[in-house]
Amino acid sequence: MKKTIACLAVLGLLGGCAELQRGALNPDTLRVAGEAVGTLAKSDATPEQEAQIGRESASMLLGAAPLVQDKEIMQYVNTLGSWIARQTGRNDINWRFGVINSSNVNAFAAPDGYILITKGLLRQLNNEAELAGVIAHELAHVTKRHYLIAMKKKDTLGAFAKVGESTVAKSGIRGGDMAATPMFNLAQNMYSSGLDKGDEYEADRLGVTYATRAGYDPYGLPRVLAMYASNTGAPGFDLLFSTHPSPQDRMAELNKAVGDKLAAYEANSVVDNPAFAKIVARAKAIPDPGQRR
């Protein structure tokens, strides 16, 4: 039965699991919504500046919630994320992936290749294709430089001009060292307010493209959006809904752009991997911050 994004929006379907062999698709044969990849966005930041902005942004995110202390989860997410990142064509980015110990449902990207998902989101997902869709969406924010461009627009205090002046650029991700910098504060405000709707819609379109290129079920991300829609007002979803367009609007925009153009890739795509259930079980066993084992 052919599943479309439209039917997911109406019925909120959450797909079942099927164990399939992962197979890479030829990127040259995949065209979604016309020019989905588009041209490289301009951010007026040098690679060195982008790297420092990424470090300070990631520092801010990790200051709010640290990484989970589970090597198996981290290795799994990095392996999966690295595979999908290969489909972006951005071999110049040093991609890094992690799961943060937060019960909230959300995912974040930071300039220079930082991708973070929350433990709370991982617990809500049903299969690896859904996780692939989430990661691919965040990859798109980096490849299109959405956060860099948005920060530049909101930089009323000249934080960009001060990038590179501080020696913390060489110190790695250390929230205490970076918390006083103008860029750290700008990043904090940026993640609190969220990106423009157009950026989120573009990341959805391009994320579906990346996940499909990686061999995953094209409807993984739409199923996640359907899950978001069914949890409106639920605990743990507050920040997600305050910083993103409504999931119904995102599904409608994705349906207009993609529709059933990816149905041909669905039959031979990867829906799940036995390792996924093990990783989710490990995530569920990790106490939330402030809880004891």
pTM, full prediction: 0.83
* Confidence bin at 30 (pLDDT 50/70/90): very low
DSSP, res 216: B
pLDDT tens digit sequence for 135-160: 999 999 999 999 989 988 876 666 66
Q: What are phi and psi of 235, to 5 degrees?
A: -60, 140
Angle at CA of residue 201, ends 196 and 202, nearest 5°: 100
In degrees and rounded to multiples of 5, residue 240 shows phi and psi of: -55, -50
- Domain map (residue ranges) of the chain: 40-285
* Band of residue 23 on the pLDDT scale cut at 50, 70, 90: very low
Position 36 scores a pLDDT of: 40
Residues 150-200 have pLDDT tens digits of 988 876 666 666 776 554 444 444 444 555 677 788 888 888 889 999 999
Tens digit of pLDDT for each residue in 215-230? 999 999 999 999 999 9
Strand partners, 107: 117
